[in-house]
């Protein structure tokens, strides 16, 4: 899997332990290259230890 720049609107699932890592289920909108958000809502299961907060101006 690769990187996904996602504006997280909601944390759906609580963190779960799997494969030795903590995971969370989130939903939001993918950020396009020009900084706009895709209209379609996306869902993802992310490793909490790999998630990074990106300042909005850096999109």
Q: Look at residue 59 and tell me whether its pLDDT is greater than 60.
A: no
Q: What is the pLDDT of residues 23-54, one digit of tens each?
A: 999 999 999 988 899 999 999 998 888 888 88
pLDDT (0 to 100) of residue 24:
92
List the domain range (segments joined by +) for residue 50.
6-58
Task: Provide the domain count of the chain.
Answer: 1
Q: Look at residue 15 and tell me whether its pLDDT is greater than 60.
A: yes
Report if residue 21 sits inside a domain. yes
pLDDT (0 to 100) of residue 33:
85
Of residues 14 and 58, the one with the higher pLDDT is: 14
Smallest Cα–Cα separation from 27: which of 52, 5, 45?
Answer: 45
Report if residue 1 sits inside a domain. no
Region of residue 19 (left: phi > 0; alpha: psi -120 to 50; beta: else): left
> How sure is the predictor about 58, in pLDDT bands with cuts at 50, 70 and 90?
low
């Amino acid at each position: 899997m690769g990187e996904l720049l996602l504006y997280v609107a909601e944390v759906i699932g609580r963190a779960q332990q799997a494969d030795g890592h903590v995971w969370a289920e989130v939903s939001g909108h993918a950020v396009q290259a020009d900084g706009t958000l895709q209209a379609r809502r996306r869902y993802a299961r992310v490793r909490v230890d790999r998630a990074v907060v990106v300042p909005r101006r850096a999109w």
